[in-house]
Structure 1
Amino acid sequence: MVTVQAKLIFEGSEDKQRVLDLMRRWSSCMRYAYKRLLEGHKRNELKKQLQGIFNLNSRYVDDAIMKAKSILTSCKERGENPKKVVFGGRQLFEKLQKRHINGKAYKKLQLKWQEKRKGNLYSRGDRSKKGNLNTRIEIDEDCTRLRINVGEREYVYARIQPGWKIKDGRYIDRNQLLEAISICGQPYSVQLKLKSGVVYAYFAIEEVFPQPAITRANGVIGIDTNAYPRHVAWVETDEHGQLLGYGRIPMPELESGSFEKKEYYRWQYAHMIVQMAKEKQKAIVIESLSIKDRGRREDFSGRRSRRIRHYFGYRSLLEKVKLLAKREGIEVIEVNPAYTSVIGMLKYAPQFMVSKDVASSYVIARRGLGLRDRIPHNYMMFLGRLDVNELEELKEYVRKVVKNTYVRKKQLREIGRVIKFLQSLESEAERLSVPLDGTSTGSRGKNHNLWQVLKVAVVTPLSPERVLRDLSVLKSLLVSGQVGKTYKGASSCFLGQGLWLSQIPPAGAGKA
């Protein structure tokens, strides 16, 4: 939806008063309809009844019922009690109930609540009427006006004062938008609101996007958002998923500043990403974001977690990318972000010698093409050759090093689950032949994900105290199935791990 806000200037106080009276009656009609819907009345039953009670035409009444129904549905979806809805705002209402507020402050607060409660009017557009019948935009040589139906064939005209607006990160003239809305012949909705004695109008029209001309048939660009440090990693692939190029876009402007400043730069970065996809003739693949950075207690209460999510605005950035790409006719593919970082870290970062953020964007791009990422054979050889005692050693080792870290405790539980998984397999040959492609399926895999187990078993011994950034050390294991340089009789071979790792023979080695 494209929305344009504007201020209404009336020719006289009498015209303004007639519009305010219409807004008051419509608001009362909407509240009355809400109460009747709670009692189980139907729309057709209410429509004729409300026209007589509030002296409104059928279109206004129908819009009021529709608005009341949407509020009722929204309350039920949020799990709230619909009988406790406060029209005008619960927060303002509760402030008015506090006894320590009096005098001018109380009157100001009361006026604000009354305006939010009674100063509303909503009018839907109609395709058959080529716009909006009750509130119609009219373009004159001198100015743009809004014609408001206040009675039976009675109209009030108000001059629209739109000014300028930042749209998609660029300044545009709102008058041009209003003219385009009025002559396009598409239905547009108009909402009037009273704020501090001034009537504002909000014009909304549904945007029509062209059919995508740039699709995944030409290849894709995978986008991975990273809140800390703030940047976007991107990867370009062909239609078969082969890596063609990669890079990163740093975003230092999103570190601090006002909301308007950060919103402006989000639009600029979104334009940059879409322009790159347009030049390369590639579709865009993004994460289907409901990213939940829960903090240490997994309840979104961590101060650092809240600060990162607040300043970065990853969801807002990707929504802008989606919108701009649709306008340019570029296909946008959303994929499940689960385990993209882990797969990129273990599989593609050491293979292409890139950062884990770039590798994660490559996994996202491959998912957009419908490709699956299986665990490499040498990694499975590595897991398959660990017996139960060696996994217990690993578990005890990690527990001693990082016993107070929440994330590591979660990973320890994954190791415990894989112990049961290996115990359920009867022979070494069966361990190596089990097909594992990320998230395991069936009775053995319903309680754990082997990508996560592999991350703990391989990465944690290499870097137990901090996140591993340089993943080139994994290349020898990825290619040959062997980590580090082993020495006969040595008790440790690589960054402090115990005997369990030094005893692992390389992949393909025969039995003694």
Structure 2
Amino acid sequence: MIVIQAKLIFLNQQDKQIVLDLMRRWSSCMRFAYKRLLEGYDRKTLKRDLQGTFDLNSRYVDDAIMKARSTLESARQLDNNPKKVIFGGRDLFGKLQKRHINGKAYEKLKIRWQEKRKGNLYSRGDKSKKGNLNTRIEVKENGTFLRINVGERKYVYAKIQAGWKKNKNREGILQEIAKSNIPYSVELKLKNGSIYAYFAIEEEYPEVKITKEKGVIGIDTNAYPENISWVEVDEKGNLISYGNIPMPELASGSKDKKEYFRWHYAHEIVKIAKEKGKAIVIEGLEIKEKGKRGDFSGRKSRRIRHSFSYKSLLSKIKTLAKREGIEVIEVDPSYTSIIGMLKYAPQYMITKDIAAAYVIARRGLGKEEKIPDNYIKFLHALTVEELEELKEYVKNTVKNKYLKKRHLKEINRAIKFLQSLESEPGRVLEPLDGTSFSTYDFWQVLKVAVVTPLSPEKVPRDFSALKKLLIQGKWGDS
């Protein structure tokens, strides 16, 4: 999707006030629709009632309901209480409630919150209506204008100012869009007393020419330190090459700086895929932060920052790949890191991040990860008593209380898994029907049994100690 921002210049103050009133009514309609959706109202009932209440046409009301539903779904996906959503911004509202700012600074903050709460309007594009019926771009001799529907057969025109130096081609793009009749959505926002328009156009991508037929590039992004690990595999899933791209700029700095470098690194990944003629495989990951957990202090805040950065980076990789006709495959990320560190890190003497990218690449080709025979033997030889001893070792050794809690939780689950195998032997490689366990628990138990003793205070970077166990079936020998 292409988004173009522009400032609207009105011919007179009266026209601007008419549009501001329209934005206020639309914003109220959207907030009202949100509350009714929480109460279980359906779209048809809402659409019928809201038109008269807020004096808006059918299309504006439909778009307000759509935005309200999108906000509701977003709150639920983020595990936020939908009843506690604050339109206008929770942070700004919190500052206003505390009243720690007085005088002009407080009034300025209040105006900013009111603008975010009441200064909105959204209008979806429609191919059958040659672009957008309520907010249409029109090209005239004296410039490019936005025609805004403010009532029954009533329109206000605002000049589109989109041509400052570094973006001087924006107005030309908007003119081409107006002539082509392709659908575009328009969102109006009030900022510092001025009205800005955001034009969103769905891109038409070329036919996919680079597929997984000759292999893929698997990528894995990491929060500490910020970097991308990538691997190249052939069509059979064999490892050909690999690399790591540090991204120190994403760890700190301004929003604009981070955004620039996300595009920069996305270009690097797509360039690699294009040069090698391989599709790209990424994790289809939704990170939901639930409480503190981790291998080091501050891990929660780092994961939260990383989740936003990660999603933004993935979105840019997907967009750039589509523009180049490169296939992008999304896979389930479950246990990619654990499988990588246990199976491929010691086998190829690579880092756990590169190994995770390798698992992602193979998964994109539909390859299943068979469990090495020596690991199966090790699991059968492992006893509950040994895990109980490991639990005591962790209690006495690990100082980080959050890490200790996570280790103990994993060990307890591993003990339950071993107990289930003892009661029904011979089911190691298949899901345990009738229980809460699956074959993935095998990898988790191995991680607990062999990785935790190696480095209980932090995630290890060197897994060469596992090579003897993986290849020779030996563990703990000198």
TM band (smaller chain): 0.7 to 0.9
Conservation of the 8 A alpha-carbon contact between 2:147 and 2:157:
yes
Please name the residue that 1:441 is paired with: 432
Q: Is 1:356 aligned to 2:349, yes or no?
A: no
1:116-265 equivalences under 5 Å are 116-163=116-163, 173-265=169-261
Equivalent residue letter for 2:475: V
Structure with max Cα Rg:
1
How far has the Cα of 1:434 moved from its partner? Answer: 4.7
How far has the Cα of 1:310 moved from its partner? Answer: 2.2
Please name the residue that 1:417 is paired with: 416
Conservation of the 8 A alpha-carbon contact between 2:10 and 2:158:
yes
> SS of the residue aligned with 1:223?
strand
Conservation of the 8 A alpha-carbon contact between 1:294 and 1:302:
no
Change (3 A) 1:238 1:194: same
How far has the Cα of 1:285 moved from its partner? Answer: 1.0
Equivalent residue letter for 1:480: Q
Q: Percent identity?
A: 62
Moved more, 18-27 or 29-38: 29-38
Conservation of the 8 A alpha-carbon contact between 2:132 and 2:185:
yes
Q: Which runs of 5+ in 1 are unaligned?
A: 426-430, 485-492, 495-512
Conservation of the 8 A alpha-carbon contact between 2:468 and 2:474:
yes
Q: Which has the higher helix share?
A: 2
Ranked by relative contact order (alpha carbons within 8 Å, sequence separation 6 or more), the top structure is 2
Which digits, 9 at most, give the CA deviation of each residue in 1:47-100, with x for residues without a partner? 677656655544444444554555566677767465x77655566566666677
Q: Is 1:367 aligned to 2:369, yes or no?
A: no
Q: Is 1:344 aligned to 2:356, yes or no?
A: no
Equivalent residue letter for 1:436: L
Conservation of the 8 A alpha-carbon contact between 2:162 and 2:168:
no
Count of aligned positions:
472
Change (3 A) 1:221 1:422: same
How far has the Cα of 1:130 moved from its partner? Answer: 0.8
Aligned-residue Cα RMSD (Å) equals: 3.7
Counterparts of 2:220 and 2:328 in 1: how far apart (Å)? 14
Q: Which runs of 5+ in 2 are unaligned?
A: none
Moved more, 11-20 or 30-39: 30-39
Counterparts of 2:93 and 2:391 in 1: how far apart (Å)? 56
Counterparts of 2:163 and 2:295 in 1: how far apart (Å)? 40
Conservation of the 8 A alpha-carbon contact between 1:134 and 1:149:
yes
Please name the residue that 2:302 is paired with: 307
Please name the residue that 1:12 is paired with: 12
> SS of the residue aligned with 1:449?
helix
Q: Is 1:459 aligned to 2:458, yes or no?
A: no
Conservation of the 8 A alpha-carbon contact between 1:293 and 1:300:
no
Change (3 A) 1:8 1:94: same
Please name the residue that 1:298 is paired with: 293
Conservation of the 8 A alpha-carbon contact between 2:233 and 2:240:
yes
Counterparts of 1:102 and 1:385 in 2: how far apart (Å)? 70
Conservation of the 8 A alpha-carbon contact between 2:185 and 2:201:
yes
Which digits, 9 at most, give the CA deviation of each residue in 1:320-346, with x for residues without a partner? 212222222222112222221221122
How far has the Cα of 1:276 moved from its partner? Answer: 0.8
How far has the Cα of 1:220 moved from its partner? Answer: 0.8
Counterparts of 1:3 and 1:27 in 2: how far apart (Å)? 21
How far has the Cα of 1:232 moved from its partner? Answer: 1.2
Counterparts of 1:444 and 1:70 in 2: how far apart (Å)? 36
Counterparts of 2:475 and 2:37 in 1: how far apart (Å)? 68
Please name the residue that 2:2 is paired with: 2
Q: Is 1:270 aligned to 2:266, yes or no?
A: yes
How far has the Cα of 1:236 moved from its partner? Answer: 0.7
Change (3 A) 1:325 1:392: same
Please name the residue that 1:333 is paired with: 329
> SS of the residue aligned with 2:448?
helix
Change (3 A) 1:395 1:419: farther
